[in-house]
Structures are given as C-alpha cells and as structure tokens.
Structure 1
Amino acid sequence: MLDADYQGYVLSFDGAAKVSTRQRSCGGILWKLPGWQVEKTEEHILEGVTVNDAEYHGLIRGLKLALMFDAKELVVVGGSRIIVQQAQGLINCNQSNLQRRLAEYEGLRKNVVSMKLIHVKCEFNQAAGYLTSKTLVLVGSWELNVPDEIVHLRLVSRIPERS
C-alpha cells in the first residue's frame, strides 16, 4: 500500500450510524508520515443522512482537512468499499444523494496532484472508527486534544500493517 520510505500524508476516514437514534457521524484523521503522527482530526454528527452519505461526508471533510494542510499528494484509506469504488470510478453511483456527494468529492479531488484511494477492512481503520463512534456517544462534534487519545489512535490504527 505504501512504500517503506513514504513521506507525506495519509487520510483515514469513516462514517457511522446509531440505529436507535437514527443519528450518523463522520470522521477523518490526517496522518503525517514518516512516524504516523496525527496532524489533525475531524469529527461531526450528521442528521437525516444514510450511512453511505456519512461515509462520503467523512471522505469529503477529510479531503478538505488535507487541503488545509496543503497536501498535494495523498493516500486515502476508507472502510466503505462502495464509496471507495464509486470515487475511483469503478462502479456506478445511481442514488441522487450520493451523486451530489460524489460530485463534491470530484471537485475537491482536482486540487490534489496525486491521490491513491484504498479500501481496507474496518479492522485496519479502527482509529477513524473510534472517532465516529465517540462522536455518536457524545452526540456532537468534539476536538481530539488529549495526548492519551492521540496515542490510542496510533495504537489501534492497523493501516501501517497494510503498508
């Protein structure tokens, strides 16, 4: 997935749902390599969207975050096969709500010189999953600024194992 000497940014994103409350959340982590340092995270609660919408929101907001850091070369990792394959142009996007999200993604994508989009099993994307789950529990956006939680993200992320 990544060369051993890769230097740059990796974005991991996720979307989540809490069935009992019908709430959704999205989140993303911008990692800086080498060293897998957490550059910044984004977490948001979402209302009135599907789970796939939440995944797209995670991708889009994460991409906006990466662009704020002027990341022109980016590796993007997500657990939603549908979203990743639609963004890669491998499968059609037929739902109008997702077509709007895909168009927004494509508009942002033009600002990145080189981007590799990779689907991974959820077990490898647990750090982004942690953000979305905690956002659902807290029922709102929050900011990751506790050193222990940053260490936790580095420990639970198995993306480096896929490299």
Structure 2
Amino acid sequence: MEVKKCERGEEEILGMLAASITPREEMDEMLIAISPRKDCRLKISTSPPTVEVDEKLLVASFDGSARIKKKGGSFSAVIWRLPEWKIVAGEYRYALDLTVNEAEYNSFLLGFELLADLDRGRVIFCGDSNLVIRQMRG
C-alpha cells in the first residue's frame, strides 16, 4: 500500500471514488461525516435590491480564476441592463503570474472599465469573491 499527500484538486476525485464505492442508502451518513464542522464566521446579510419601473439599472458581474501551476489567471466582467437582462458589454482577459485574489480584483476593475463609456444610473456589482466584496463594502 502506498500513501501520499493529495495534490490540490485530488480531493474531489477521491470523493467521487468514495461515492462510487459507498452504497447509495449510506450516502447521506457519509456526507455528514465529511462535511465541515465549522459555520461561517461572518454572514453578510443584505436585502435584495429592487428595481423601479423607469429606473436605469446595470448589473456588473465579475469573476477571476488563477492556476498556480500554469502561472496565469483569467478574469472577466459582463454588464447587463435590467429589467430585460440585455448584455451591453463584456470582456475577458488573461495575465501571467496572477493569484486568485489578483484575478478577482482585475475582474472587478475590468467591470469599471466597461462601465466608463456607458450611460448608467445605478449599478449593482455581483461576484463570488468574499475578499473583494467585503473590502468594497467597507
């Protein structure tokens, strides 16, 4: 038997392998056993934004990703006009030597670049980076 440290990403493969071995009726019990025991330290609670009928509202979606082994990251931003959810701008880019957080920040800034030339009213930013969102909220 050989024992070695898992590389990042192999945990998912091992989980799928374990799921294929575990009988289906025991799956819930197995998932509870491996689920994280801690709850989130800070939960951000906000009310959903509302849109007035005659309001100009844009939604800026941003996301970034990086691969340390591939030494690069990509990031993108898309601007939507509500209420019809029409895409009015979008762009993606790739850069060398980015961390995940740097890719997320670059995507956030790319959203501002795309908004610069648009006629806009209120803008709502949506992204999955807790670091960027918490810092922008203050």
Q: TM bucket by the smaller chain?
A: 0.5 to 0.7
Relative CO higher for 1 or 2, CA cutoff 8 Å, sep ≥ 6? 1
CA displacement at 1:19 relative to structure 2: 3.9
Give the aligned length.
89
The equivalent of 1:62 in structure 2 is 111
Equivalence for 1:2: 49
Alignment of 1:24 with 2:73, yes or no, is yes
Q: Deviations over 1:99-133 (max 9, x none)?
A: xxxxxxxxxxxxxxxxxxxxxxxxxxxxxxxxxxx
Q: Does 2:102 match 1:53?
A: yes
Give the letter for the 1:43 counterpart: Y
Query: Unaligned regions of 5+ residues in structure 2, if any?
Result: 1-47
Q: Could you say what secondary structure the match of 1:76 adopts?
A: strand
Q: Structure 2 CA distance, aligned partners of 1:87 and 1:59?
A: 10
1:37 aligns with 86
Q: Please report the RMSD computed on the Cα atoms of aligned residues, expressed in angstroms.
A: 1.6
For 2:64, the equivalent position in structure 1 comes to 15
Dislocated runs of 4+, deviation >4 Å: none
TM-score normalised by the chain length of structure 1: 0.50
> What is the TM-score normalised by the length of structure 2?
0.59
Q: Give the greater-gyration-radius structure (CA).
A: 2
The structure whose residues are more often helix, as a share, is: 1
Q: Among 80, 101, 117, which residue is 2:129 paired with? A: 80
- Cα deviation for residue 72 of structure 1 reads 4.2
